[in-house]
């Protein structure tokens, strides 16, 4: 059974204080690892898709990396508007549905 574990559950940063979020996963065969951002009461907003170990993707202050067992979402010099829940999800062999982690609630204080 697919398992996705995200840490920490919650993270409070000062504006400009860089940090990383972790996503550990267990799958039979990884068909993709996805990062989403979710604001309260809204739908998950797509950030990145990673397919192979060693792959990296970047967008503004965010950078996602992937190894064979985990993925990291690095946030550089965050701003208050980066405050949200960041969800990690995986797609396993034979399934197109996503299995989500429980998310990391990020709060960036000015």
Partner 1 sequence: AAGVIQSPRHLIKEKRETATLKCYPIPRHDTVYWYQQGPGQDPQFLISFYEKMQSDKGSIPDRFSAQQFSDYHSELNMSSLELGDSALYFCASSLFGAGGPYMYQETQYFGPGTRLLVL
The stretch among 11-19, 55-63, 66-74, 86-94 that binds partner 1 (CB under 8 A) is 86-94
d(CA 41, CA 27): 29
Query: Does the footprint of partner 1 cover residue 78 (CB under 8 A)?
Result: no
**Sequence-distant (≥ 6) Cβ neighbours of residue 33 within 8 angstroms:** 23, 25, 49, 50, 51, 66, 71, 88, 89, 90, 91
Query: Looking at beta carbons only, is 13 or 91 nearer to partner 1?
Result: 91
Query: Does the footprint of partner 1 cover residue 34 (CB under 8 A)?
Result: yes
CB of 23 to partner 1, least distance (A): 12
Query: Does the footprint of partner 1 cover residue 55 (CB under 8 A)?
Result: no
Please provide the DSSP assignment of 81-100 as one string.
GG-EEEEEEEEETT--S-EE
Site residues (vs partner 1, CB under 8 A): 29, 31-32, 34, 36, 41-46, 49, 51, 87, 91, 93, 95-103
């Amino acid at each position: 059974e697919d398992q996705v574990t995200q840490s920490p559950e919650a993270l409070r940063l000062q504006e400009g204080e860089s940090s990383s979020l972790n996503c550990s996963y267990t799958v039979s065969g990884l068909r993709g690892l996805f990062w989403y951002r979710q604001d309260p009461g809204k739908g998950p907003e797509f950030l990145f898709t990673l397919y192979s170990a060693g792959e990296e993707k970047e967008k503004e202050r965010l950078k996602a990396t992937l190894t064979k067992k985990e993925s990291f979402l690095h946030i550089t010099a965050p701003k208050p508007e980066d405050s949200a829940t960041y969800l990690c999800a995986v797609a396993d062999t034979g399934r197109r549905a996503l299995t989500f982690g429980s998310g990391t609630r990020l709060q960036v204080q000015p």
